[in-house]
Chain A
Amino acid sequence: MTVHNFYMFDRYGQLLFYAEWNRLRQSGITREEEAKLMYGMLFSIKSFVSRISPLDNTSGSREGFHCYRTSKYALHYMETPTGLKLVLNTDNVAVNVHELLKQIYSQVYVEYVVKNPLCNLSEPIKSDLFEAQLDAVVKQSHVFTSKPT
């Protein structure tokens, strides 16, 4: 199992943080363009999912979308009620990735960004401590064990 890369967006769609581990192919566009593309897709999927859902789960659109899977990788998505969006790409056999996303939120983002008064919440995260902790949490996770074959 492996983790490819990670995106974090704020509630206005700004890319707060990007990290990658085993990414074998780059998109060939700048990081900003890529982030916009990614956010736009997430936004569309969310509204698609909430509109097309045959079930009426009233708390609706926000909890609606969790992940998608292609033949090669899986994209896992988590959104907090404050609109923070975390995206993790893994291979498609990874399990319990949502636990990892929650852990990143509560043990890395909240601890090292929210509780750091020097980190402006509406700007991309520049904290080295955050970066190091994120890396540690992801690498310790059982989702991140082997290199892709």
Chain B
Amino acid sequence: MSRQGARLDAKKVNSELFTLTYGTLVSQLLKDYENVDEVNKQLERMGYNIGIRLIEDFLARTGSGRCYDFKDTAEKIQAGFRIFLGVSPTISNWGPGGDEFSLIFESNPLTEFVELPDHCLNLKYCNILAGVLRGACEMVQMEVTSWFVQDQLKGDNVTELRVKFIKRLEDAIPAGED
């Protein structure tokens, strides 16, 4: 997702390079923090910082406007995964209020070549994605939270990321108005 990424758009960067770079990042964090919960938190934070920038790239590429409802949001998030990770998660399990849904990943480029060692069972390996979603949505005035309910790395069939809408953030009023 560097500047070259945009210039080389036709021949995209090999996803293995990305997978391995992410793997290096996670293992470095595990060394630095020696505490799985702290690593989860750091990954989420890094994702947040990525998300607040990534949203601009997404909007510039797709030219999409504001979302009409949360279903629209879900589809745009799905499109985002297609653009940036080359995967199409399925949207399912809508909550009764329509403010919650799941993204189901059959495959996940982040977790290729990955097995979790026993002492890392609490590690949310892909937690960076939760941060990216939170950061990106916050920039378009939406507070969301997301968490993993199923994870292929923990023996589940699919990876399931649950996304929940919390509230709309209000527009800032310029100083001196009202």
Measured CB to CB, the residues of A under 8 A from B are: 11-13, 36, 39-40, 43, 58-59, 62-63, 80-84, 102, 105-106, 109-111, 114-116, 121
A81 engages B3 (CB within 8 Å): no
A43 engages B140 (CB within 8 Å): no
A115 engages B1 (CB within 8 Å): yes
Residues in A with CB closer than 8 Å to B140 are 81-82
**Interface residue total, chain B, C-beta cutoff 8 A:** 27
B139 engages A115 (CB within 8 Å): no
Interface flags, B47-87, vs A, CB<8A=1, else 0 = 00000110111011101111010000000000000000000
Residues in A with CB closer than 8 Å to B53 are 114-115, 121
Residues in B with CB closer than 8 Å to A83 are 139, 141, 171-172
Chain B residues numbered 152-178 whose CB sits less than 8 Å from any CB in chain A: 171-177
Given A62-B66, A81-B59, 20 more contacts at CB 8 Å?
A: A11-B171, A11-B172, A13-B174, A39-B174, A43-B174, A43-B177, A62-B65, A80-B56, A80-B59, A82-B59, A82-B139, A83-B139, A84-B56, A102-B63, A105-B60, A111-B3, A114-B56, A115-B3, A115-B6, A116-B3
A81-B176 in contact given A110-B57, A111-B3, A121-B52 (Cβ < 8 Å) = no
Residues in A with CB closer than 8 Å to B139 are 82-83
CB distance from A60 to the nearest CB of B (A): 9
Which of B59, B173, B174 has the most C-beta atoms of chain A within 10 angstroms of its own C-beta? B174
